[in-house]
């Protein structure tokens, strides 16, 4: 039983990334799939499992696997199911925990992808030693993992921490959840794209963004334009950061975290987004919280925070109590 | 050391109530002062301490006192201070923990008054056995005590759970904190009084409220009028409950509590307020949380939840580890 490993999986609306992870947090090998390429979750589980078995063979670790940690949108730690995930075109309830556990013949544990990222940040990233912090993942949607007194906040239902679906603009933009004005409708790839289209069509000022085909307009290209001095591109991030920052004033009043970390595609915009967000937080936060919460990019690059977090969850759940490994 | 007792104190913006409390949660004797009657906190501490000494004498328990639990607005568990409390006309930082400890010569512990109410609800009230719930106290202001995984949420600063100062109406009413649109500016004695004045002056419909002198218009009289069928009075609570309920949809998305309890003067309005709040929560909450959070009045009547909660905190902090009492 030496050199045991777990799988850490980050199942996102766009991509699914997995790693074979040691107890020390080394990712031995990483696998990536397009989530959207599979119509049904069964197809994804089958493809992932076969690839994992090949990789285990390659590194001679067929018998070393002791568990799977899964992070997925609307993943419920209590039921093991992905329930009504708005960013996955899957049936209402998908028992992903059982499907992966059966396919690979080891126990599995499932949580929200953002919760997995928060565990990763706590154990391997910028939140080491912190007892109260939040990780916000910004990608297709906006997720959040909240740590309180050193533990994840799951709440009574297992779904606590759905910050993407708290209301940033009352009666605002239509969200994928069917309601209006959710934070996710503004601060996400989709939200920033919509803001880009609105700003470009509503204003006459010149911008390099006007020469780009619509499918090239995304947070990354807009952020690059802003960093290169394009005024309209900066305006798009000022608007997004302002909505984010003033909303975080409420988050701080609820939770008073030591830090809020930003993770995922949009977060790579860095200070183009976090600068305006910090200013709006400072301008809107209640006096007693002033200057007490840091906004920072995740200390873990790429998608590895969620992989490492899901792996850490698996270690904690299945492997660590058995000492003497 | 038999029959030890603690003091549980609930220091509110309007009144201060204290009890001598046994380990089993019996309140042996209760003391009440008008907080506002004292210009400085020193005056309040002196009056309270002298009264407490008299009461201890009366029941022959001079040597039985082993600690003081204090619940006060903006009370910080970490520093022991009341910091910048908007509803108390006190200096910026008041070291209430030291002042009471010195005056009565026993150790003291201080927290937010709403946190104390939440501990009271957990140990003696409707939240027995619950691991995730919220207590909202509605009086002069609006406070909240949040319990996550069975423990109070203090956050990094010690001030977490300031729901009264999360934004219910962007750019809305001016709040005592100097910002605009806080939940407290709508859902509190002050907020409901302002709504009453606005509704009565903006509408021509008849109402028994029009015959009342301004200083008799308060949530209690408006609630009685609503219960007796007065349409404008009901409209005032419909408006208040709608703002409360749709705001709680965000609270549920953050915390997913099993229940939210309402405590304090305004809460006694009961279903006149909680009915519209429940409807607005149902209409606004994200699908995965639908029907998963109960709104209920506190199971502890009067001010005793906060007294019992503060006492329970004192027991837990100073007295309980020493077994064999």
Residues of chain A positioned with their CB less than 8 A from the CB of B83: 288
Check whether B59 has a pLDDT greater than 80: yes
Question: Quick one: pLDDT band at residue B127, thresholds 50, 70, 90?
Answer: very high
Q: Is A296 on the interface with B (CB under 8 A)?
A: no
Q: Which of A130, A163, A179 lies at the smallest CB-CB distance from B254?
A: A163
Indicate the range of A165-179, A239-253, B59-73, B234-248 predicted with least confidence.
B59-73
A6, A8, A59, A149, A267 from A3: Cα distances, Å: 10, 16, 12, 32, 35
For B247-274, how does the pLDDT look when each residue is reduced to its tens digit (9 = 90+)? 999 999 999 999 999 998 777 788 999 9
The answer to whether B254 contacts A160, with C-beta atoms less than 8 Å apart, is yes
For B171, name the nearest residue in chain A, comparing CA atoms only: A284
Question: What's the CA gap between B312 and B303, in Å, rounded?
Answer: 15
The pairs formed by B96-99 with CB atoms below 8 angstroms and a separation of 24 or more are B96/B11, B96/B41, B96/B45, B96/B70, B96/B72, B97/B70, B99/B41, B99/B42, B99/B45
A84 pLDDT band (50/70/90 cuts)? confident
Q: Does B92 touch chain A (CB under 8 A)?
A: no
> Would you state the pLDDT for residue A203?
92
Q: What is the pLDDT of residue A323?
A: 41
B284 touching A (Cβ < 8 Å):
yes
Asked if B269 contacts B237 with a C-beta cutoff of 8 angstroms, the reply is yes
Interface of A with B in 51-90 (CB under 8 A): 74, 83-84
Taking CA–CA distances from A252, the nearest residue in chain B reads: B160
pLDDT at B3: 73
Flag whether residue B151 sits within 8 Å of chain A, measured between CB atoms. yes
Question: A252 vs chain B: nearest CA distance in angstroms?
Answer: 7
Distance between CA atoms of residues A69 and A115, nearest Å: 11
Q: Is the pLDDT of residue B325 over 80?
A: no
Chain A interface disruption, residue of B165, B181, B284, B285, most A CBs within 10 A: B165
pLDDT of A321 reads: 55
Query: Mean of the pLDDT values across residues B94-121?
Result: 94
Instruction: Please indicate whether, in this complex, the C-beta atoms of B250 and A167 are within 8 angstroms of each other.
Output: yes
The fraction of chain B above a pLDDT of 70, given in percent, is: 96
Question: Which candidate from B132, B133, B166 shows the least CB-CB separation from A250?
Answer: B166
A121-140 residue pLDDT tens: 998 889 999 999 999 999 88
> So what's the ipTM on this one?
0.91
pLDDT for the residue B216: 86
The structure tokens listed for A73 are 């949108």
pLDDT average, residue stretch A254-271: 89
Question: Where on the phi/psi map is residue B95: left (φ > 0), alpha (ψ -120 to 50), or beta?
Answer: beta
Distance of residue B88 Cα from the nearest chain A Cα, in angstroms: 15
Tell me, yes or no, if B167 comes closer than 8 A to chain A by beta carbon: yes
How close is the nearest chain A Cα to the Cα of B155, in Å?
Answer: 5
Both tokens of A152, joined, read 């994840």
């Amino acid at each position: 039983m030496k050199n045991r490993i777990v799988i850490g999986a980050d199942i996102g609306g766009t991509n699914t990334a997995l790693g074979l992870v040691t107890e020390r947090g080394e990712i031995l090998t990483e696998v990536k799939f397009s989530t959207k390429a599979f119509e049904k979750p069964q197809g994804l589980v089958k493809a992932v499992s076969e690839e994992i078995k090949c990789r285990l063979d390659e590194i001679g670790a067929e018998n070393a696997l002791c568990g799977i940690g899964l992070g997925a949108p609307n993943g419920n730690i209590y039921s093991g199911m992905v329930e009504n995930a708005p960013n996955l075109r899957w049936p209402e309830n998908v028992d992903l925990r059982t499907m992966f556990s059966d396919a690979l013949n080891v126990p599995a544990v499932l949580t929200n992808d953002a919760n997995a990222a928060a565990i990763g940040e706590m154990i391997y990233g910028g939140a080491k030693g912190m007892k109260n912090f939040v990780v916000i993942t910004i990608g297709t949607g906006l997720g959040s993992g909240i740590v309180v007194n050193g533990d994840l906040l799951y709440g009574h239902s297992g779904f606590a921490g759905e910050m993407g679906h708290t209301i940033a603009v009352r009666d605002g933009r239509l969200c994928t959840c069917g309601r209006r004005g959710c934070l996710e409708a503004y601060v996400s790839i989709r939200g920033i794209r919509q803001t880009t289209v609105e700003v470009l069509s509503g204003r006459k000022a010149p911008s390099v963004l006007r020469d780009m085909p619509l499918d090239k307009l995304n947070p990354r290209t807009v952020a690059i334009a802003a960093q290169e001095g394009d005024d309209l591109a900066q305006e798009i991030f000022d608007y997004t950061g302002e909505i984010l920052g003033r909303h975080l004033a409420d988050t701080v009043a609820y939770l008073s975290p030591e830090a809020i970390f930003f993770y995922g595609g949009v977060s790579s915009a860095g200070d183009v987004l976090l600068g305006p967000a910090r200013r709006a937080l400072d301008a809107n936060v209640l006096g007693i919280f002033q200057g007490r919460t840091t906004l920072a990019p995740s200390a873990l690059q790429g998608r590895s925070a969620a992989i490492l977090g899901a792996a850490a969850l698996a270690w904690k759940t299945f492997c660590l109590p058995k000492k003497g490994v």
